[in-house]
Amino acid sequence: MLDTTEGKFSIDEITEFINLMQLYEGAMYEVSTKLEILDDEFQVRFSHDPIHHMERRLKSIKSIIGKLQRRGLPISIDSVRDNLFDVAGIRVICNYRDDVYSVSNYLSSQSDIQVLRVKDYIKNPKQNGYRSLHVIYAAPVFLSSGEHYMPVEVQFRTIAMDYWASLEHALRYKSDLPDAKLAEHSQTLLDCARSLQNIEVQMQNIHRDINGAPRVEETPHTTA
């Protein structure tokens, strides 16, 4: 157990934790390289970049412990391994909604990767208007000790969905607003989510007419 009350960690625990983080980082690079390769291939074959940009992050030790504590889970390395699937995270910001489904499906069908969990908040938006496709992959990391499959949470979304989510996130963490103001802004954000969705559909239709990239509209399926 990591002794967080005293703030003391044994050398063995620290070493084990660093090794674990190295595995998460390896899997994160593995998946983001696969995504870059797909993006490059689309550029060559269809003169279209499906990915606008990507963001990657490893959860900090502070957020890892905070999340375990919030969920009433043990604070230990095994507990991180067994319960947290978003220690390694990649956000893939795509140009169009079609790109979200193409890229996520092409990645999901790769033979060395498993799809552990899928949440499609694009087809089923959250009540507040949040839209994104969340997929938890398990990707192999090869070390001298052998092969380790590690989870990576990938959030696929369009530029418009990302634009919306950034403001909604900022509003959620702005705790000094009066309740009435917060409710008013939340309602406006819900209206904005719907407007952005309409604009996206119209722009996507124009793009479909001028670009021949293949279309996959299905949500990826779990494989593990």
Q: If you ran DSSP here, which 8-state letter would residue 2 be given? A: -
Q: For the packed helices 97-108 and 179-210, what is the interaxial angle rounded to 10 degrees? A: 80
Q: What is the gyration radius of the CA atoms in the chain, in angstroms? A: 20
State the binding string over 168-197 for ligand GTP (x if CB under 6 A, else -): xx----------------------------
- Is residue 30 a contact residue for Mg ion (CB under 5 A)? no
- Is residue 126 a contact residue for ligand GTP (CB under 6 A)? yes
Query: Applying CB under 6 A, which part among 7-15, 92-100, 128-136, 141-149 lies near ligand GTP?
Result: 128-136
Query: Applying CB under 5 A, which part among 12-20, 28-36, 85-93, 206-214 lies near Mg ion?
Result: 85-93
What's the N-to-C CA distance of the chain in angstroms? 29
- Is residue 120 a contact residue for ligand GTP (CB under 6 A)? no
Cα angle value 159/162/166 (rounded, 5°): 145
Dmax over CA atoms of the chain, in Å, equals 62
- Is residue 86 a contact residue for Mg ion (CB under 5 A)? yes
Work out how close the CB of 8 gets to ligand GTP at its nearest, in angstroms, rounded to a whole number.
27
CA distance 85 to 101: 21
Residue 218 appears among annotated catalytic residues? no
Contact 221, 113 (CB under 8 A): no
Work out how close the CB of 174 gets to ligand GTP at its nearest, in angstroms, rounded to a whole number.
13
Helices vs. strands in the chain: H and E counts, helices first: 6, 5
Among 110, 114, 128, 211, binds ligand GTP (CB under 6 A): 128
- Dihedral over Cα of 196, 197, 200, 201: its sign: negative
- Is residue 148 a contact residue for ligand GTP (CB under 6 A)? no
- Is residue 98 a contact residue for Mg ion (CB under 5 A)? no
> Residue 211: which of ligand GTP, Mg ion, none does it interact with, CB under 5 to 8 A by kind?
none
Which residues of the chain form contacts with ligand GTP (CB under 6 A)? Answer: 86, 119, 126, 128, 130, 134, 155, 165, 168-169
